[in-house]
Amino acid sequence: MEPRERVIQVIQHGKPDRIPIYGMLRANLEEQITEAFGSVEAFEDKYEFDFAHLFGGPRPYPPETLKQLRQTIGRAIEPKDLLDVELGDPDGTDAYDDIKKQVRHHKEERGRFVYVQTPGIFECLNGPFGIENHLCHLLLYENELHQVYRRQAEWNRAFAMNCLDLGIDMIHVSDDWGAQNGLMFSPEVWRRLIHPYHKITCDAVKARGAFVSLHSDGNVMSVIDGIIDLGFDAFHPWQESAGMSYALYQEKYASDFVLIGGLDVQTTIGFGKPDFLTSEIERVMRTFANGNLLFNTSHYVQDHCTIEELTLAYDTIYELARKVCR
């Protein structure tokens, strides 16, 4: 199988010839990887990555706009304030130049499956509000937030459609809702204020025949049924370290969506425990030997991970990805 074909096979709940692999490495380890391998791209090629998580594109609220707004009003931004701010243009073609380059590098030249990170609803608006204030706004300004969120959802849909036009295979919506033991707000708030505005993007992506995935850290078990209702094809990272077991996933949700993840940066990689690291990689890969996993890190690998440990991890991943599916 070619890399893109392999990933699609998994998303469609088929058994691949081997487990597809990737890793979120550049953000904290680019310098170390470049010194050891020549470039991050060389590392990705050496280990034959099958898919790529792309970043870039326009921003709904440029930082300078928010800075000026705070200076003008002389206080923290509230939902009503954002309604008077013009959103950035999601159709500005220059803003997509970096995404185009990444599509060419990963998909056109290397045959990888590509997905692009796009905003959700809650996480992206933590920028204007601040997360503590935003949590308070959920209770104090529900009517105004519906208006803010609808504008954001329409912007997100336009961004997603433009990315699909560029050859993106999957829209990856990033919206952190989870703390370590549960949601940061109630499931009822999620259903009233978050679910309807994700549905706008999800429905549009599915209507185009494309895939849509969700990133949310922490424990989001209380809204899994809503995530399924929205039609997400894949979920990242299904965090075992936050109490979300693979056994429960396989028992109840394996037919609904596949997982992206398997290598936990919170507990497994970067802690100087090589035997534990390799045994955990093997445990997870054998758990998903028949499919339903796009093997990836749960988040960015942190800079306390040495290049020796990273190399050990990916030597193990490379070997086991080809071994466990036989």
Structure tokens at 35: 């010194």
Question: Do residues 316 and 47 lie in contact, with contact meaning Cβ atoms separated by under 8 Å?
Answer: no
The DSSP line for 254-279 is TTT-EEEEEE-TTTTTTSS-HHHHHH
Q: What b/e sequence results for 156-193 when a residue is b if at least 16 CB atoms lie within 10 Å of its CB, and e otherwise?
A: bbbbbbbbbebebbbbbbbbbbbeeebbbbebebbeeb
**pLDDT for the residue numbered 243:** 95
**pLDDT for the residue numbered 61:** 93
**What 3 state SS string does 136-174 have?**
HHHHHCHHHHHHHHHHHHHHHHHHHHHHHHCCCCEEEEE
**pLDDT for the residue numbered 326:** 77
**pLDDT for the residue numbered 181:** 93
| pLDDT tens for the chain, residues 1 to 326 | 999 999 999 999 999 999 999 999 999 999 999 999 999 999 999 999 999 999 999 999 988 999 999 999 999 999 999 998 999 999 988 999 999 999 999 999 999 999 999 999 999 999 999 999 999 999 999 999 999 999 999 999 999 999 999 999 999 999 999 999 999 999 999 999 999 999 999 999 999 999 999 999 999 999 999 999 999 999 999 999 999 999 999 999 999 999 999 999 999 999 999 999 999 999 999 999 999 999 999 999 999 999 999 999 999 999 999 999 87
Q: What is d(CA 140, CA 143) in angstroms, rounded to the nearest whole number?
A: 9
**pLDDT for the residue numbered 32:** 98
**pLDDT for the residue numbered 158:** 98
Coil vs helix vs strand at 120: coil
Please provide the CATH number assigned to the domain covering 3-323.
3.20.20.210
Q: What is d(CA 3, CA 17) in angstroms, rounded to the nearest whole number?
A: 10
SS3 content of the chain, % helix, strand, coil (to 5): 55, 10, 35
Q: What is the CA radius of gyration of the chain?
A: 20
Structure tokens at 243: 């109490």
Cα distances from 137 to residues 61, 125, 131, in angstroms, run: 18, 11, 10
